[in-house]
Structures are given as structure tokens and as C-alpha cells.
Structure 1
């Protein structure tokens, strides 16, 4: 049969709502529950729903990297205790698809066990070896007057004062991902939405957006670029850097170490993957320029606008509760 079950066959609310996303609205009676107002679900639909809910929905973010906790296939029986909210639904899915759910053991590099990343966390000479490798392997990019990016400020005292859009004074530096007590940073992005995300804005904030352009050629190390590597994922420099910029504040000390090292090699700044790229469909880099580039005449402000948030949308999915 084409539609063996429908959304009303399920008890769990997350599964019901995913059925609305993947299923077909129809007034025909369901051959399983006999209700005529549910979204009809084919086996192909149910496979997609199961992947979305149990695999994507069980994703666990480790210190560096992450992985789904649950997987399913037709060869194993279910050995996961999902608890009361799924006790009726899981057997229905098992029977319909002929599958079982089990705990997934990922390859350990997915959880950040990468040699290069471990070296960056060390205090010995091995960290400097990786820092030199970063300089050698990642491409240098030159930006000039033809390029532009945006910088967002919130609740500034005088938005007409262009110095308000420069990097903070050195005495206020050290709280961000790349800046330190010895190196202040001007952060920006080519994407306005990323600027809004990075600044953790709220609807009551007064927001001002500046368009910035270099006044001369600036040498930038592009850490957002993909690089070719001959080694395995367990020695991957690209994954090490990628995981660093996806991590929370515990990664900041290593990121600052990279930033200071790149600065010491004569670069004007770094392009790096945004923490919020994971919630965008495309990969979006940020830019960090060393020092006070507006004051130093390296960057000029082309325009300042007030910006107001008038709509916010979220895409989301659901996942299972697991009894520990």
C-alpha cells in the first residue's frame, strides 16, 4: 500500500508535526488508524521523518565537533530506551519500515580527537608547529577598495561619530573570539544577518550598520577556505580549524593564539567561518582586522544606516528524549 500510516497514528507531537512537513494532506481513511483527517505517510516519507527526528534530532555537540547519538537500519533491533513519549510510536515505525534504532558510535575525529587540534591545545612547541602550518596551508587573500563588508553596533552613544565603528580600545579588548589584552580587533561580515546574529541583538536595541571599504590593499589569511590534504581526518588541519570556530567560549584561548600568531607574521587580518554559518544554507565568513584600522586609515566608512528588525523566522526540527 502506498500510505500505510498517517500523522494521527502517532502519539508524539514532534513526529506529528514532521508528518505535516513530509506527508500528504488527504481526507481518505488511514488504513492503520481509520482516521480521515491526517497527513498520509508513505514508507519513503517515514524514512525521511525517521532520519530527521531520530538521527538529526539526536545530534550532540561535543567540545569540538559533534555527532548524532542514534542511527537505524534494517539489520539491528532497537536497543534504545526512548521513554513514555515514544513507547507506542517507535514500534509502529519499526514494524512499518522493518528497522531498529541503536546507539551510534561515530569515528572519533567527529568528536574533535584530531592530532592537530590536540597540538593546538598544548603548551609546548607542537602548538607553534601547527600555527606555522596554518600560515603555510591556508591561502592569503588580498582585499582592496573593490571589496566591502559590514559592521554592526548597538546602543552607541553617538552613531555619527565614525570612531564608534572602529575596534574597541585595547583596554576593553579580550572578551571576543580573536581579540586579546594585547591585540584589539575590528569584527565584520559580508552578510548583514550574520552581523545581527554575532551581536546577539534584541528588538529593543538601537542598531546601526556601517558599510566599510579598505583604502588600500590588505593582506588577509583566509581560514574559511577549504584546503587540500593528503592525510586522514584524524590529522586534518582543515577540520581542526573548522571545529575551533564552531566551538563555544572554551575555544577562545586557542583562537586568540592563532590570531596573535597571524598578526606577528605581518597580516592585516583573518577571514574565518562564522559560528552561525551552521544555521545558514551557505558558508558565510567573518572578517577580523587587527588593531584600529579606521583610526589607522586602512578602512573607511562609506555609509552608516540605522537598522531595525521587523521580522524574525526560525527553521527547526525535533528530536527524541532518551532515558539515561
Structure 2
């Protein structure tokens, strides 16, 4: 090992050092921290790293419709059943990322189905999904809908062609007050069939006020209709859905907005979930510099979450535990690099875990 590598290792150790339990503060945080695993990461180094630090699991894509109900008349529960078995064996709590969302099924990328056919498919999937998992003790939350609003505050709907991220469900229509019927229907079914699971409305992008104002109105409208909404989720894909200028140049403003959003959630008896935290680096020649920025942004986000966790439910989910490549360009950064060595951001998560 070179002297430089020894110094880096020592710095990481000293920065991440946490007092033993008997010396630590007696004030525990209510912030629950977890991470995702993909199916092919079970029984691998990533599973080992996950189990070392976390007790909160989100199966990354195994609960999505594209895996469970890939085409009409076809069902495949194998992957998510294996995850549930894994969670039970390791005493993990689970959030099912299995919503009605843009990632519907392979055949929905360029969708020619009628509104009636789409509604039938939605009802079949949500009904089967909620009835299956309602009696599973380890499943605490499920995302009911996901990615419903664009950055400009408009409803996220179908896009042309087969290469765009698409949400076909808006074609089902809107009610007399302009709210998408697919969102109403999904929460109606989940409310009926999943009384034991907390229902989450998950959303992408950053802290744009027009996005969250629309989500707030929709959540309150769902409740007026008699449907249960137990929490809101923010995907937190930094430097992709959440813009760089908002989380580097104007981070103070974004952290204020994040804190205000969590306050609104708690005031309305809603949990708040950061559901998909990672950090995109497009220019990998600047990886070390970018990882220090990532650490700074993670630290600011965790500070807000810790502060608000005493007022109501707050969770944080890392999207993957290690670096992964982005199709086309760049890398998504997490708390370990591609060689499974801790990145600077690991220190922030480790310190927060010590306060649980």
C-alpha cells in the first residue's frame, strides 16, 4: 500500500469515527436509513455491505410492474418473493417500490391501448399487488404512484416514440376537477386492499415549488375523496432529476424548501421519505472533486432530515450502495466506489446511522 493510500485510509477512518454506544449521546434520532438492492446483487458483496449497515430495504426494481406483470396475462412474482424471504431472514423492514409509474411494462413504452384497456390493467396490477403483500409483516410502506408531475408543474404524461421515459396512465383521463383518474384509482384500490401498509405518494425532480404545490393539492384531494395517503416521497436523484444549480449553487434555498416540505408533511400527519438518493457525475475525470461535493450535499440533506425526524416519520433510502454506470455517460455515486471502498459520503451516512 502506498503512503498516499495509507493517508487517505487514515483520513476516512478519522472522519468517520463514531463513539462507542456507551459514550455516544443518549438522544436517539428517529431517522431510519436504508438502501436498495437489485435482484442480481443478492448473495454478492453488495448484499454483505448492505447488511453491515442497514435494516431498511427497498428492492430496487423487483416490485415494479415491468417485472411482475410484463405483458397482459403474464405474472412473475419470483424476484420480489425472493426479496421478501431475504427480508424475513434478516429482520429487515421493506418499502415496496412497486407503483403505478412511468416504468410500467416493456409494452407500454409506445402504448396504443385504449383508456379502458389501461384502466383494466391498472386495476388488475394494483389489486393483485396490494392483496398479496398486505399480510406480509416486513412490508411497512409501498409507493402507490411515482413521477406524476413535471418540473414545470404540469402532469407527467405520454411522450412520443419508444426511447422516452413515458407515463401512459394519463390517457385514462382526469376527473371533473382536473385530477388524473389513474392516481385516484390507484389510491382507491390500495386504501381498500392494503390497510396494514403505509401508502406513499412518490415524486421525482428537485425542490421546485410548482412541483410540490401540485403534489400537496393532490394529496389533500385524495384524502377528501376518502383515500388514505400516509406519506410523500422525494426521489432525490441529485444532478439528474434534481438540478445541479439547486443543490450546489443554491443549496441554502433548496435546504430551506426541503425543511418546509417536511414540516408541511408532518403538519398534515404524513411521513416524509427520501426514496432514491444518489449523485450523478457526468465528467468522471473530476471524480474526486465531485465526491467531495457529494459529501457536502449529503451532509446538508442529512442535517435537515435529522432536525425534522423528531417531529414525525422521516426515512432516507440510498439508491444502490455503490457506484454504478449511467447508460450513455457518467456514473451514479453512492457511499462505496466500484471497488467497494468507502467514498467521502459514507462518513455522513455512518454518522447518521450511529444516532439511530
Q: TM-score range by the shorter chain?
A: under 0.3
Which structure shows the bigger proportion of residues in helix conformation?
Answer: 2
Name the one with the larger strand percent: 1
Max Rg structure: 1
TM-score between both structures, scaled by the size of structure 1: 0.26
